[in-house]
């Protein structure tokens, strides 16, 4: 039952983040959201959609901002 509730929490959050992070693969976004949910449960924090989305967004921003710059052709 917990897995079903977690899935219903994750799907709308993943969809909103996928619309925002077009360069990040959807699988990566889903995994990030699932990881945030798992971390919240482990820490005993209530995993509301707002909290999950905020933390996942920060993690995805870190992924996007840490990508190496494109190579320039010489």
Q: What is the pLDDT of residue 2?
A: 46
Task: Quick: pLDDT tens for 9-56.
Answer: 688 999 999 999 999 999 999 999 999 999 999 999 988 999 999 999
Which residue from 34, 38, 28, 15 is spatially nearest to 61, judged by alpha carbons? 28
> Is the overall model pTM greater than 0.85, yes or no?
no
Q: What is the pLDDT of residue 68?
A: 82
Which residue from 52, 50, 55, 56 is spatially nearest to 24, judged by alpha carbons? 56
DSSP one-letter code for 24: S
Q: What is the pLDDT of residue 1?
A: 45
Q: What is the pLDDT of residue 35?
A: 95
């Amino acid at each position: 039952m917990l897995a079903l509730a977690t899935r219903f929490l994750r799907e709308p959050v993943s969809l909103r983040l996928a619309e925002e992070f077009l360069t990040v693969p959807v699988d990566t976004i889903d995994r990030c959201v699932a990881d945030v949910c798992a971390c919240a449960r482990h820490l005993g924090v209530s995993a509301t959609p707002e909290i999950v989305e905020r933390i996942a967004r920060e993690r995805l921003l870190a992924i996007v901002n840490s990508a190496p710059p494109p190579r320039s052709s010489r």
